[in-house]
Structure 1
Amino acid sequence: MDSRFRVDLIAATPNPQQCVYAGMHQDYSEGFVAADSANWPEESKAGEICIKRLLAGERGHYGPLEHAQIVLNVGWFPHSVMQQARTHRVGVSFDVQSMRYTGDRICKAANDELELEEVFYLRPIGSYSDRQGKKYAYTEEQRYIDLELCRAAAARYRDLLAAGFAEEHARGILPFDYRQHFVVSFTLRAFLHFLDLRAKLDAQQEIRELCDLMWPHLQAWTPQFADWYEKSRLHKARLAP
Structure 2
Amino acid sequence: MKVKLLAVTEQAEALIEYAARICYQSAGRSQADKRGKFLQALIAKGHESPLEHASATFHLAECSRAMTHQLVRHRLMSVSQQSQRYVSESGFAYVVPPSVAAADQEAYQQDMEAIRALYAKWKARGLRNEDARFVLPNSCQTELVITANFREFRHIFKVRCLPQAQSEIRQACGMMLKLLHAKAPHVFEDLLPLLAKSAPPQEG
SS of 1:7's partner is: strand
Cα deviation, 1:5-59, whole Å, max 9, x if unaligned, reads 01101111011111110110111228xx6xx8xx8533x642331212x123xx1
- The answer as to whether partners of 1:91 and 1:186 remain within 8 angstroms in 2 is yes
Q: Partner residue of 2:201?
A: none
Q: Partner residue of 1:122?
A: 96
Q: Partner residue of 2:168?
A: 206
Identity %, equivalent residues: 25
- The answer as to whether partners of 2:115 and 2:136 remain within 8 angstroms in 1 is yes
Cα deviation, 1:180-220, whole Å, max 9, x if unaligned, reads 10111111100100001100111111111111211221111
2:189 matches 1:193: no
Report the AA paired with residue 210 of structure 1: A
- The answer as to whether partners of 2:119 and 2:136 remain within 8 angstroms in 1 is yes
CA separation in 2, counterparts of 1:156 and 1:41?
A: 63
TM-score after normalising by structure 2: 0.86
Q: Partner residue of 2:83?
A: 98
2:31 pairs, out of 30, 41, 44, with 41
TM-score after normalising by structure 1: 0.73
Q: Partner residue of 2:200?
A: none
2:69 matches 1:83: yes
CA separation in 1, counterparts of 2:76 and 2:168?
A: 21
**Max Rg structure:** 1
1:12 pairs, out of 8, 14, 27, with 8
| Alpha-carbon offset, residue 235 of structure 1 | 7.5
| Residue correspondence of structure 1 range 159-174 to structure 2 within 5 A | 159-174=121-136
| Alpha-carbon offset, residue 147 of structure 1 | 1.1
Q: Once superposed, what is the RMSD of the aligned Cα atoms?
A: 2.4
CA separation in 2, counterparts of 1:140 and 1:46?
A: 50
| Alpha-carbon offset, residue 176 of structure 1 | 1.9
| Alpha-carbon offset, residue 79 of structure 1 | 0.7
2:24 matches 1:28: yes
CA separation in 1, counterparts of 2:108 and 2:120?
A: 19
SS of 1:149's partner is: helix
Q: Partner residue of 1:142?
A: 104
Q: Partner residue of 1:158?
A: 120
Q: Partner residue of 2:184?
A: 222
- The answer as to whether partners of 1:153 and 1:174 remain within 8 angstroms in 2 is yes
| Alpha-carbon offset, residue 163 of structure 1 | 3.6
2:47 matches 1:61: yes
Moved over 2 A (4+): 39-42, 44-48, 138-143, 158-164, 228-231, 233-236
In structure 1, the gaps of 5 or more residues are 110-115, 129-137, 237-241
CA separation in 2, counterparts of 1:45 and 1:102?
A: 50
Q: How many residue pairs are counted as aligned between the two chains? A: 197
